[in-house]
Chain A
Amino acid sequence: MNEAVTRIGRAANGITEELGRLAAFAGRILLVTLRPPLRFGEFWAELFKIGVLSILIICVSGVAVGMVLSLQGYTTLVRFGAENSLGAVVGLSLIRELGPVLTALLVTGRAGSSVTAEIGTMKATEQLDGLRMMAIDPVDYVVRPKAWAMAVAMPLLSAMFIVSAIGGGYFVGVHLMGIDGGTYMSSMENSVDFENDVAGSLLKAAVFGVIVALISTYRGHQAQPTSAGVSAATTSTVVLASVTVLVFDYILTALWGV
């Protein structure tokens, strides 16, 4: 019994220490952000890698999710004779929930893992130490542009996911299931509120962006400088960021109703 309590205590201590280090790391990113140079060049390059190169996977996934959502929604609503509300169901569920969450999970898998692997490999090959010996802070030069690019790209990618999904849902609902196009769009327009739904969705996506950015850069920065260490860090980024996004999704919805 005592041993079990000791283990739980140690685990709690470990988690608390890790959270403390993560908070300190976030503080360092904020601190270097306030100091010149602003490193716009590096930021744009990372925004391209994280954002632009993710557009295809986001749009394709969005269309697929919208199509299946519309199909499932129609099958359910038609039982109650409420198929004309399909636009509202698809729009609200995508904007309020599925858009930000699925985008965060997709970006974690595509870009978050890549950010961790890149920083971890730079550590394993002593490139980060090389920067430090040149009196250049790796958090400033390597981590900051990646973290900000991830945080900025996430709401934009989420918006693209939602638009693609609404398009996919429209195709299935209107062209395959025979719902009137005007009814589909007006149902959506009447039920979606900009302040509560759209702005809330963007806020959610921004929070998820910060979470994925922080976890992926931190894990890369803390990776053991070996191939196994980089691999473990990459895996842990995907797992931890995905779970954290889902947990925060509930917290944000419960607390602020977004």
Chain B
Amino acid sequence: MTDEAVAGARGPASRSARSVGATATSPAVSLSGVHMSYGRRPVLRGVSCSFPAGAISVVLGGSGSGKSTVLKLIGGLIKASAGRIDVAGRNVVGLRESELYVVRRSLGMMFQNGALLDSMSVFDNLAFPLREHSDLGRDEITARVHESLAAVGLEDVDDLLPRELSGGMVKRVALARALVGHPEILLVDEPFSGLDPLSTKLIEALLVRINRQHGMTMIVVSHHIPSTMRMADRIVLLLPDTVVEGAPAELRSSEDVRVRHFLTEETDDSEAVLAKAAEFEQGERRPERRGGAGAHP
């Protein structure tokens, strides 16, 4: 994908976010020939792709295609069986856990279900990494926590426990926690899953705003095609036998029918589901009619 394609997809505001010099053109994260299996089931077979610095990259793919696995591999939460994964200039494959902690200081991750520590309040969930890794005083930590909560549009939630939050609020608190350490790279796993349309748009807007304000590299795993097409600078589509990457516009006009089908699958699926529902309804009525005919010959 060309830089122009990225810039074109983002509009004027995004160009300012990408104007971070050399980092805007070099990949912040790249995978090269990565293999990964869960037990005997191979998930990734020689996957190679890259995620440009300062851009929002969305990883798409079918269920079980290894989207979340890609995020976990980048964060070093699981080990690739072969290949190379460069994160902020370091190959994380083969690093020991203690070495990975150094790399993870530059990463933030928003988990699909939040992964908030359920024994801690919202405030403590956000303050915890700061207390662990910085010399900030109590007032500075409080300010940073509130700054992060404000960035995701939350206030007066300090004392709430995770179980007292709605699904959308959990996602936003998880995003705030991922941001509180000012990471260079933000990994986001299924930010829109289980959310209503309004919350989906809210999270989408938050991600785009944070990216544009801070030029933060974002790697988002999502199933939500409309949001992806709106927010992505770059799409990485995991297909069973290959990886296709490029700007949304490029992928929409791809000659590969699978790519075009995937990006429009939401519409197709809706129609297919409606058609199947109609068939089912007709099928349900037929026996009734037959039964009725038998009863009244």
Contacts and interface: CB of A to CB of B under 8 A. Distances in A.
The 6 closest A-B pairs by CB, nearest first: A130-B115, A126-B115, A135-B101, A133-B109, A134-B129, A135-B104
B115 A135 contact: no
A136 interface: yes
Contact of A127 (B100, B102, B115, B187): B115
A31 to B, nearest CB: 10
Contacts of A129: 72, 77, 111, 115
B132 A130 contact: no
Contact of B113 (A125, A135, A137): A125
A208 to B, nearest CB: 27
A190 B72 CA distance: 65
B77 A137 contact: no
Contacts of B113: 125-126
Nearest to B180: A134
Contacts of B100: 132
A23 B100 CA distance: 23
Contacts of B108: 133
Contacts of A136: 128-129, 132
Contacts of A132: 75, 77, 97, 100, 104
B121 to A, nearest CB: 15
Nearest to A134: B129
Interface in A122-151: 125-127, 129-137
B163 to A, nearest CB: 11
B75 A133 contact: yes
Contacts of A134: 104, 128-129, 132-133, 181
* Chain A CB within 10 A, most for which of B101, B117, B187: B117
B104 A130 contact: no
Contacts, number: 51
A127 B117 CA distance: 6
Interface secondary structure of B, over-half rule: mixed
B107 interface: yes
A52 to B, nearest CB: 17
A130 B113 CA distance: 11
A63 B87 CA distance: 61
Nearest to A130: B115
A141 B102 CA distance: 17
A127 B77 contact: no
A131 B133 CA distance: 12
A135 B75 contact: no
Nearest to B174: A130
Interface string B85-116: 00000000000010011101101110111011
B107 A133 contact: yes
B288 interface: no
B122 to A, nearest CB: 14
A126 B128 CA distance: 16
